[in-house]
């Protein structure tokens, strides 16, 4: 592998799942995160970068790489209904759901279709754009990675036997590509056995990045994904700092690859970024879990293992604290009818559907409706124009002299609007209040911990630490990061 040298600084982006500012600051204050503290002291920390909606990693990664929301990149969320194929797509919510949907199909969706069929080809990824300019990039363990280089993914024998997945498949990736046990850079390092999630862990990502640094093989842009903090926060809650400590130890190993930590800053721009936040979940299981099957029990809801049949009326696609709820016949089961049932549950703070070119918003918390669509007389902080009428409190909006201000739901209008153009179908979008999450037939639960997916700021705001440049993206949204990174290169 020949890496082309660049006179400009290398950009190293460390994508840390669920890196939130309150937890980060707590860890730094208590001396538990010396590496992260080093980066902050030698650069700057932005505490409130806005994540796309739904706040699920596959949607966030798609927006990061393409610079567009889901109305254009076409990856709606972790779980969604594909109308053309008449089936539920699930990129990995929980093993029991994947088994019921069919392991082989689920694995093909996760490991191939997500990048090569579902992610829109109308919008090039940052890897594809740079490779078109003969600029090399690297991807380490990221969920979304599509590039121009043909690569082979080789699945471990046990994985292939259990799932039915072919042992070898071809994909398109960046010039430098690492993807757990399926495509390793460092042949001598482990951390990729089945009990280590086949390499999709922090240690593997750090070892692969160190392998490039030690051999002076960093390309112009490297994106490395560190997943472990997410699971810790899910179990222990928003303010648990143990996961920060663990990821910081891997960052210390990366910094120790250089002669001094200061040397790590010399020829590199470091961007350390969260993908989504997490909202707290109540300790009372009966209160915390919003069972959509019970709320909508009067309708025919398909069992996951049976697929979609002609007698089914409503499909549930649960993304933790957000859900898509589809009607298969809008005449016999109109969305307004489903919404009126959900409005009786005070744990649901946003209930929305598309009507023509407008979005209608109601709530289980308060009465009234909010109706909005793009291109009106009101301008928000991102320069987006909107037509808005109805109860502003439903999305916690305030308007002052035609200027829209967001509070509890950052960039709520654009994030909610674009979700309704991410895929075909007639569906509600629902988001839960902090303290609660949705469940369907086999959904994961996080009682007493934390969860994400929702529109609320707890799900939506992440930290970003930058060293090596004083520039910042145009707006503090993950949506804007692609263009900013391209300007640095």
pLDDT by 10s per residue, the chain, length 489: 666 655 689 999 999 999 999 999 999 999 999 999 999 999 999 999 999 999 999 999 999 999 999 999 999 999 999 999 999 999 988 888 888 988 889 889 988 999 999 999 999 999 999 999 999 999 999 999 999 999 988 888 887 888 878 888 899 999 999 988 788 888 776 655 544 556 679 999 999 999 999 999 999 999 999 999 999 999 999 999 999 999 999 999 999 999 999 999 999 999 999 999 999 999 999 999 999 999 999 999 999 999 999 999 999 999 999 999 999 999 999 999 999 999 999 999 999 999 999 999 999 999 999 999 999 999 999 999 999 999 999 999 999 999 999 999 999 999 999 999 999 999 999 999 999 999 999 899 999 999 999 999 999 999 999 999 999 999 999 999 999 999 999
For residues 367 and 244, membership in a common domain is answered with no
**Has residue 108 been placed in a domain?**
no
What is the bridge-based pairing of β-strands 79-82 and 268-274? unpaired
Report the b/e string of 40-67 with b at 16+ CB within 10 A.
Answer: bebbebbeebbbbbbbbbbbbbbbbbbb
Q: Which two tokens stand for residue 231?
A: 């699971």
Which two tokens mark 416?
A: 């909610």
| pTM for this entry | 0.95
- What's the structural domain count of the chain? 2
Looking at the fold, whether 392 and 354 belong to one and the same domain comes out as: yes
Q: Is residue 247 part of a domain?
A: yes
Residue 101 in domain: no
Same domain? For 268 and 361 the reply is: no
Q: Which residues contact 153 (CB under 8 A, 6 or more apart)?
A: 111, 168, 169, 170, 171, 179, 182, 183
**Could you tell me if 270 and 289 lie in one domain?**
no
Is residue 104 in some structural domain? no
**CATH number of the domain to which 67 belongs:** 3.40.720.10
Domain housing 417: 285-448
Q: d(Cα 333, Cα 327) in Å, to the nearest integer?
A: 6
Clarify whether residues 299 and 409 are in a common domain. Answer: yes
Residue 82 lies in a domain: no
Distance CA 216, CA 445 (A): 43
Residues 398 and 471 in one domain: no
> Would you state the structure tokens that stand for residue 130, as one six-digit string?
């740079």
Same domain for 290 and 335, yes or no, is: yes
Would you say residue 258 lies in a domain?
yes
Query: Do 349 and 465 fall into the same domain?
Result: no
């Amino acid at each position: 592998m020949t890496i082309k040298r660049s006179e400009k600084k290398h950009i190293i982006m460390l994508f840390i799942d669920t890196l939130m500012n309150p937890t980060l600051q707590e860890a730094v204050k208590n001396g538990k995160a010396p590496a992260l503290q080093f980066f902050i002291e030698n650069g700057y920390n932005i505490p409130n970068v806005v994540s796309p909606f739904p706040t699920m990693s596959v949607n966030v990664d798609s927006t990061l790489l393409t610079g567009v929301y889901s109305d254009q990149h076409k990856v709606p969320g972790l779980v969604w209904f594909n109308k053309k194929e008449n089936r539920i797509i699930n990129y990995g919510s929980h093993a029991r759901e994947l088994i019921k949907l069919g392991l082989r199909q689920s694995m093909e969706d996760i490991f191939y279709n997500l990048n090569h069929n579902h992610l829109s080809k109308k919008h090039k990824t940052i890897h594809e754009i740079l490779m078109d300019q003969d600029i090399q990039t690297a991807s380490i363990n990221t969920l979304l990675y599509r590039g121009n280089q043909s690569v082979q993914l080789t699945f471990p024998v046990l994985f292939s036997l259990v799932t039915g997945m072919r042992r070898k498949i071809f994909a398109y990736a960046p010039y430098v590509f690492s993807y757990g046990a399926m495509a390793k850079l460092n042949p001598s390092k482990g951390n990729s056995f089945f009990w280590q999630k086949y390499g999709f862990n922090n240690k593997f990502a750090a070892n692969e990045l160190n392998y490039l640094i030690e051999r002076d093989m960093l390309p112009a842009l490297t994106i490395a994904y560190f997943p472990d903090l997410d699971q810790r926060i899910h179990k222990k809650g928003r303010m648990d700092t143990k996961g920060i400590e663990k990821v910081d130890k891997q960052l210390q190993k990366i910094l120790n690859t250089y002669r001094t930590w200061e040397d790590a800053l010399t020829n590199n721009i470091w961007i350390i970024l969260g993908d989504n936040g997490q909202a707290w979940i109540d300790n009372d299981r009966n209160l915390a879990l919003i069972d959509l099957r019970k709320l909508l029990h009067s309708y025919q809801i398909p069992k996951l293992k049976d697929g979609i049949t002609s007698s089914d009326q409503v499909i549930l696609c649960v993304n933790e604290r957000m859900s898509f709820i589809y009607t298969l016949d809008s005449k016999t089961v109109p969305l307004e009818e489903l919404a009126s049932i959900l409005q009786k549950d005070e744990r649901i703070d946003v209930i929305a559907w598309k009507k023509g070119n407008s979005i209608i918003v109601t709530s289980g918390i308060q009465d009234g409706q909010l109706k909005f669509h793009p291109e009106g007389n009101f301008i928000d902080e991102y320069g987006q124009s909107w037509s808005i009428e109805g109860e502003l409190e439903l999305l916690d909006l305030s308007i002052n002299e035609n200027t829209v201000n967001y509070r509890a739901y950052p960039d709520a209008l654009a994030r909610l609007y674009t979700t309704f153009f991410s895929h075909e179908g007639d569906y509600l979008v629902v988001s839960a209040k902090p303290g609660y999450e949705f469940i369907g037939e086999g959904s994961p639960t996080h009682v007493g911990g934390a969860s994400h997916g929702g529109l609320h700021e707890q799900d939506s705001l992440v930290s970003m630490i930058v060293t090596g440049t004083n520039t910042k993206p145009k707006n503090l949204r993950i949506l804007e990061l692609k263009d900013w990174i391209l300007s640095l290169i």
